[in-house]
A and B are shown apart, each in its own frame.
Chain A
Amino acid sequence: MPEPRRGRPLRAADGLAYGELRPPGATIAARVAGERRARRVRRAPLRVAPASALATALATAILWAAPRTATATEIRTVARTLGEGYMVRAPGTDGQLLSRRRLVQYINLGVYDLLQPRDAGERRRAHEDGQLRIVTSMRIRHDFGSYASEAANAAAQLVKQIDGRQIDIMFAYLEADNLRGMIDLRAGRQFEMSGLDWYAFDGAWLRLRTPVHLGLEAFGGFQVDGSALFGFPTFELDGTANTPADSKRSPMVGAAVSAVGLRWLDARLAYRRTFSPASLNEKILNDDGTAGLAGAVDQEFVSLTVAANAAQGRLSPYAALRYNLGTGHLDDLSIGLQLAYTPQHLLRAMYMRTRPVFDLDSIFNVFNLQAFEDARLVYQVHLGSRWTLAARSQFRFFRDATTAHLGTAPEQKLRVGAGGGATAGFRVRRFSARLDGQGIGGEGGLRVGGSLDTRTMVAWDRVGIDGRVYALRYRDETSALREGYSLALQAGVNVQLWRGIHLAVLGEEMFTSHYTQAFRVFGALTADWTLRVGR
C-alpha cells in the first residue's frame, strides 16, 4: 500500500492527482472569467487604473498558482467589545473635568483552510501543499463623554478623527501561503512590520522562494492613512497633518531580498519608496517661475535586518538598521545580544539609536539633528518552576551640540539618564504574583515606583480574580507644579463564561497629589469561536 502522506513524490501513488479534484476550481475560474468579461463590457470607456491592473494580475497569479480546489472549511469569528470610563482634567485654575466614555467594538473574521487536504486522511492540508486564507478585522469606536461631544473648533475635527464613531478596517487580505512550494502572497489591506517600519497599506506583497534559501519580495499599493476609505491615521507619518498633502493617497512600492528556511539565520535587505502625488504641487511656483512641481517622494528607506542563532541557541545576536535616503540619516538602529548560557539564566544587552521620522515634505526634518541613544541590560533567572527573578538597567544619552551658531550653547554636550528595576514573579497552580520596582531619571524628570499584580483562580479555573497596587512618585524637571505621587488600587475579575467567551471587568481607585480620588473602569467581552463547515 502506498504511503498516504505528504510530499510531492508520493502524490501519484496516492491516486489523488490534481485532475480528480479539478472541477470545483474550474467552475470558480470560469465564473471569475465571466464576471471579468462582463465588467470589461460595462467599464470599457474607463481608464484602467494601476490598482485595477495590479488586482487583475494578482487574481490571475493566484488562479494560476492555486491548486484547483476551493472549499471554505474553517471560519473564525472574534467579537470583542471594550469599554472604558474615566475623567480627565483640563489645566488651569478652573480645572474643568471632562468625561471619557469610550466604547470600541472589534469584529474579526477569518476564513481559513480554503484549500482541501491533498490526502483524504488528512484533517488539515499539509503546509508543503500550500494554503489560502482570508483574514479581516474591523473596528468601530466612539467616545460618548464630554471630552468628545463638547469639543469645538480645531480640536473637534481631530477628536472626531480618533474617537468619532469611526469605522476602521484594520486589515483585510487574502493570503496565499507556500503555493507551488515557492509563492507567498498577500493582497488587500495589510500591515508590514519589519526593519522598514510598521505601517499599513492597501496593495499586494509577493515573495518567491528560490531553492537556494533566498526569497525575492516585491510589494506595492497605497499607504493607509486617515484619508483612505475606512482608513485610520495611526501609522501615518507626522509632519503635514491636516494640510492638502494629507488628503491625497500616497502610492508606495518596495522590494526586498531575504533569507528563507535557515534555522540559524534570518536576514532581509529591503527598500521602500512612498510617492507624493504631483497633483499636490499644481499651484506651487517652481524655481523657474512656472507653476507646478514634479511629483516627489514622501518616504524612502533602506533597511537591513539580521538575526542569528548560534551555539545551540545560547547566543542570539540581532540587528535592525534603517537608513533614510530622504534625510541622509541612519534614523533607526537596534542591536541586541541574548545570551542564554543555561536554561535557567538569561542575559540580554541592547543598544538603540532612533530619530523621529516625518514625511519628507515636512520641515520638521530640517530641525531634527540628534538621535536618542539607549542602552539596556537585562538579567533573568528561573529559580525552580515557581520563581523568576529579573533585574534591568537602562541608560539614555542626550546630546546637545549644534546650536552655537544660533547664539546659544548647551551647558553640557552630553547628558546621561539612568534607571533600573527589579522584578520577581511567582506562580503556582491557582495563584500568581508579580512584584516590580523601578526608577528612572535624567532628561525630563524622575520617576520612582513599584507595583504588585496578583491573579487567583477560583471556581474550577473559570474565574480569575485580579488585584493590583501601583505607586509612583514623580518630579518633572521643568515645572515644580508637575511633582507628586499617585497610588492606585485595581481589582477585577476575568470570567470564562463559556469556551471562547470571556468577560473581564477591572476597576481602579486612584489617589494622587492632585485628586482626592479618581475612579475608572475597564471592561471587555470577547467571543472567540471557530466553526468548521463543508467537511
Chain B
Amino acid sequence: MTMRGDMSDRAGPEGQVLKASRWSTSAVGLAAGLTLVAAFALGLLTRPVVADGGGLSQGEVPTTTPVLLGPARGGSPVYPEQDIPLRFNHGQHLALKIDCVRCHTKIRGSTQTADFNFPTGASCDGCHGAQHPRPAGEPARCDLCHTRVTQSPDPAGPVMRVAATLRAPKANLTFDHKRHLDRGVKCETCHGDMSRVRLATALQLPAEKTCLGCHNGIQATERCGACHPTDGTGKIATRSFSDRVAPQLVPRGQSSWGAAHDLAFVEDHRGAAKANPKLCMQCHDETSCTDCHAGAVRPMRIHAGDYISIHAVDARAQTQDCQSCHRLQSDCLACHQRLGLDSRGPDAKFGVGSPLRFHPPGWDGPPNAPQSHAFAAQRNIATCASCHTEDSCLACHATTSVARGGLNVSPHGPGFSGSMRCNALANHNHRVCLKCHAPGDPRNECM
C-alpha cells in the first residue's frame, strides 16, 4: 500500500514488525502445514468415500460472485437434462386403452429414482412386431420409433446405424413408485393428463406444487428431506460435490416459501431467517451463518474496495447492520483504539492538543450548550458504543451524589419517572440505576 502525498514516506517499519513476529509465524505456519499433511495422509490411508451430493459443500469458498450464481449447465437441479431420441405418442397409445404398466412394466416394483423405468425395445415388440432382436428376413422398422437413424443411400436398402442411446439421468429425488401406487395414487395424479402428450419429457415429471398437494403435513409428511436427498448431516444435498457446473437446488419462485434466493437476497435475508429459521436449516448448517456473521476472515466481496474509509457512513445510518457481525465493544472498539481514534492513551490521535476533531462543532458541551450528540445517542447509540464506554456518558449524566460524580444532566425525557419503561429497567437490573443515582435516591423507586 502506498499513500498519496507525503504520507507514503512515513510508512511504519515493516521489516521490524515481521522480524518481531517471525517465531510465532513459523510455529503456526508449521502447525498448519502439518495439519494439512496429516489430513491428506489420513484421507489416503482410510480411502475416503466422498459423498455424492454433500449439502452445501464447504470446499468452494465464494470469493467474488456467490457460488449459486456461477456458471451452470442447462436442466434443473432436480431433473437433469435429458436426451431421448425417440418418436412416441402417449395419447395415441392411451386412446387404444393401453394401460401404463403395459409398457412401463417394472413400475409397480420400482422403489427408487435410479430404477430404469423406460420401456425396453422388447416390450414394444409385443405389438409392433419383433425388432429387438430382429429375426432374419424381418424388415427393419427402426425409424418408426428411433429418431437418429442413418439410412443407406438407397432408400430401400438396409438400415445402417441406429443411435439408440438414451440419456435420462436419474432425478435428484427420493421417490418410491411402489409405495405411492400401493396407496392408490394414480399415474395422472403426478404426471398429469398424458392423453394429450406425445413424447414425455421432464415437463411431464411432477413439479413441487404437485407433490405438496398431498405432502402437506396432514396427508403425508411435509418434510423437505422426504423427497429431496439429504446427506449424512441431515441437510438437503443442494449441489453436486464434484460437478461444479451442475445446477444447484436453490429456493426460487413459488417453491421458495418466502425465501427466494434472488439477486438481492444476501442483503434482505434477515427477515426470512428470523421468521422461519427452520426453513433455512433444511439446507444450511451453522457454518453457513458463522462464516460471514462470525467469520474472522470474510470473502472479499463483503466490504470490498476501500471500505475502511467508508464504513462510518454505513455505521451512522445502520445501512448495514454492523452488529450482526461485529461486536461494538470488541471488534469496533479494538480497531478504533488501535488506530488512535481515541482521546486517551499514548496512541490517541484526538483530544486535547490535537488538531483532529471527530465530532462536528456543537456536538457536546456544558449544560445549555448545543448538544447535537443527543440525536445520535437516542437514535443510534450503537455507534457511540463503538468508541465510548459508559464512563463517557456518566461524566455528565450521573447525579452529583454518586461516587464518580457527574453533572446531574438528566437524559430521561419528561414523564420517564414512574413510567413503564422506568419500572422495567429498575425491576430487571437495579444496578443500572445505581450507576447514576446514589443509594437512597427516591428516584431509584421510579417515583
Asked whether A390 lies within 8 Å of B72 as measured between CB atoms, the reply is no
Specify the chain A residue showing the minimal Cβ separation from B273: A193
Asked whether B12 lies within 8 Å of A526 as measured between CB atoms, the reply is no
Known A155-B334, A320-B274, A512-B306: A261·B312 in contact at CB below 8 Å: no
Q: In the docked arrangement, what's the CA distance between A197 and B286, Å?
A: 14
Question: Smallest Cβ distance from B445 to chain A, in angstroms?
Answer: 7
Residues of chain B lying within 8 A (CB to CB) of residue A64: none
Partner of A198, one of B255, B289, B436: B289
Partner of B264, one of A276, A367, A392, A517: A392
Asked whether B296 lies within 8 Å of A466 as measured between CB atoms, the reply is no
Q: In the docked arrangement, what's the CA distance between A94 and B11, Å?
A: 8
Q: In the docked arrangement, what's the CA distance between A135 and B345, Å?
A: 44
B150 contacts A by Cβ under 8 Å: no
Annotate B1-33 by CB proximity to A: 1 below 8 A, 0 otherwise.
111100110111010010011001100110010
The B350-397 residues at the A interface (CB cut-off 8 A) are 354, 356, 360, 367-368, 370-372, 374-375, 377-382, 384-385, 389-390, 393-394, 397
Asked whether B276 lies within 8 Å of A151 as measured between CB atoms, the reply is no
Q: Which of A21-29, A44-52, A333-341 contacts B (4 or more CB under 8 A)?
A: A333-341
Residues of chain A lying within 8 A (CB to CB) of residue B192: none
Interface size class of B (residues with CB under 8 A): 35 or more
Asked whether A318 lies within 8 Å of B374 as measured between CB atoms, the reply is no
Specify the chain A residue showing the minimal Cβ separation from B46: A531
Partner of A508, one of B24, B39, B300: B300
Asked whether A461 lies within 8 Å of B245 as measured between CB atoms, the reply is yes
Asked whether A528 lies within 8 Å of B54 as measured between CB atoms, the reply is yes
Asked whether A518 lies within 8 Å of B309 as measured between CB atoms, the reply is no
A78 contacts B by Cβ under 8 Å: yes
Residues of chain A lying within 8 A (CB to CB) of residue B126: none
Specify the chain A residue showing the minimal Cβ separation from B340: A90
Asked whether A307 lies within 8 Å of B276 as measured between CB atoms, the reply is yes
A201 contacts B by Cβ under 8 Å: no
Q: Which of B55-63, B93-101, B151-159, B196-204 contacts A (4 or more CB under 8 A)?
A: B55-63
Asked whether B271 lies within 8 Å of A320 as measured between CB atoms, the reply is yes
Partner of A444, one of B14, B271, B319, B354: B319
The B294-342 residues at the A interface (CB cut-off 8 A) are 294-297, 299-301, 304-306, 308-310, 312-319, 321, 323-324, 327-331, 333-334, 337-341
Asked whether B260 lies within 8 Å of A348 as measured between CB atoms, the reply is yes
B184 contacts A by Cβ under 8 Å: no
Asked whether A335 lies within 8 Å of B271 as measured between CB atoms, the reply is yes
Known A144-B21, A488-B305: A161·B293 in contact at CB below 8 Å: no
Specify the chain A residue showing the minimal Cβ separation from B398: A363
Annotate A461-505 by CB proximity to B: 1 below 8 A, 0 otherwise.
110101110111010111100101011101010101001111010
Partner of B245, one of A146, A313, A388, A429: A429
Asked whether B428 lies within 8 Å of A296 as measured between CB atoms, the reply is yes
Asked whether B329 lies within 8 Å of A97 as measured between CB atoms, the reply is no
Asked whether B217 lies within 8 Å of A307 as measured between CB atoms, the reply is no
Q: Which of B83-91, B115-123, B165-173, B277-285 contacts A (4 or more CB under 8 A)?
A: B277-285
Annotate B245-266 by CB proximity to A: 1 below 8 A, 0 otherwise.
1000000111111111011100
Specify the chain B residue showing the minimal Cβ separation from A475: B313
Asked whether B24 lies within 8 Å of A432 as measured between CB atoms, the reply is no
Asked whether B275 lies within 8 Å of A320 as measured between CB atoms, the reply is yes
A contact patch SS: strand
A289 contacts B by Cβ under 8 Å: yes
Known A104-B297, A455-B71: A307·B257 in contact at CB below 8 Å: yes
Specify the chain B residue showing the minimal Cβ separation from A424: B263
Known A328-B420, A350-B268, A515-B4: A363·B394 in contact at CB below 8 Å: yes
A293 contacts B by Cβ under 8 Å: yes
Q: Which of A11-19, A31-39, A55-63, A405-413 contacts B (4 or more CB under 8 A)?
A: A405-413
B226 contacts A by Cβ under 8 Å: yes
Asked whether B275 lies within 8 Å of A306 as measured between CB atoms, the reply is yes
Residues of chain B lying within 8 A (CB to CB) of residue A312: 209, 212, 254
A53 contacts B by Cβ under 8 Å: no
Q: In the docked arrangement, what's the CA distance between A434 and B68, Å?
A: 12
Residues of chain A lying within 8 A (CB to CB) of residue B223: 127, 261
B434 contacts A by Cβ under 8 Å: yes
B139 contacts A by Cβ under 8 Å: no
Asked whether B429 lies within 8 Å of A361 as measured between CB atoms, the reply is yes
B137 contacts A by Cβ under 8 Å: no
Q: In the docked arrangement, what's the CA distance between A14 and B373, Å?
A: 74
Residues of chain B lying within 8 A (CB to CB) of residue A405: 413-414
Asked whether A363 lies within 8 Å of B378 as measured between CB atoms, the reply is no
The A228-270 residues at the B interface (CB cut-off 8 A) are 232-236, 238-242, 245, 261-264, 266
Asked whether A142 lies within 8 Å of B24 as measured between CB atoms, the reply is yes
Residues of chain B lying within 8 A (CB to CB) of residue A300: 428
B127 contacts A by Cβ under 8 Å: no
Question: Smallest Cβ distance from B33 to chain A, in angstroms?
Answer: 9
Q: In the docked arrangement, what's the CA distance between A135 and B281, Å?
A: 14
Specify the chain B residue showing the minimal Cβ separation from A232: B294
B103 contacts A by Cβ under 8 Å: no
Question: Smallest Cβ distance from B222 to chain A, in angstroms?
Answer: 4
B191 contacts A by Cβ under 8 Å: no
Residues of chain A lying within 8 A (CB to CB) of residue B445: 287
B79 contacts A by Cβ under 8 Å: no
Residues of chain A lying within 8 A (CB to CB) of residue B317: 396, 398, 417, 442-445
The B187-239 residues at the A interface (CB cut-off 8 A) are 208-209, 212, 215-218, 221-223, 225-226, 231-234
A218 contacts B by Cβ under 8 Å: no
Asked whether A530 lies within 8 Å of B253 as measured between CB atoms, the reply is no
Residues of chain B lying within 8 A (CB to CB) of residue A364: 381, 384-385, 390, 393
Question: Smallest Cβ distance from A113 to chain B, in angstroms?
Answer: 6
Known A367-B381, A470-B305, A472-B310: A346·B262 in contact at CB below 8 Å: yes
Annotate A316-340 by CB proximity to B: 1 below 8 A, 0 otherwise.
1111100001111100101110101
Asked whether A81 lies within 8 Å of B32 as measured between CB atoms, the reply is yes
Q: In the docked arrangement, what's the CA distance between A198 and B327, Å?
A: 13
Partner of B262, one of A144, A232, A354, A380: A380
Residues of chain B lying within 8 A (CB to CB) of residue A440: 319
Asked whether A502 lies within 8 Å of B305 as measured between CB atoms, the reply is no
B69 contacts A by Cβ under 8 Å: yes
A227 contacts B by Cβ under 8 Å: no
Known A233-B330, A297-B428, A340-B253: A263·B296 in contact at CB below 8 Å: no
Residues of chain A lying within 8 A (CB to CB) of residue B25: 101, 144
Asked whether A423 lies within 8 Å of B12 as measured between CB atoms, the reply is no
Asked whether A363 lies within 8 Å of B393 as measured between CB atoms, the reply is yes
Specify the chain A residue showing the minimal Cβ separation from B314: A444
B432 contacts A by Cβ under 8 Å: yes
Residues of chain B lying within 8 A (CB to CB) of residue A80: 58, 61
Annotate B30-43 by CB proximity to A: 1 below 8 A, 0 otherwise.
00100110011001
B418 contacts A by Cβ under 8 Å: no
14 contacts between A and B (CB under 8 A): A80-B61, A88-B339, A103-B32, A155-B337, A194-B277, A263-B216, A307-B258, A329-B421, A380-B260, A390-B263, A392-B267, A510-B306, A514-B4, A530-B231
For the complex of A and B, list the 6 residue pairs with the smallest distance between their C-beta atoms, beginning with the closest.
Answer: A316-B258, A158-B334, A313-B254, A241-B329, A334-B271, A444-B316
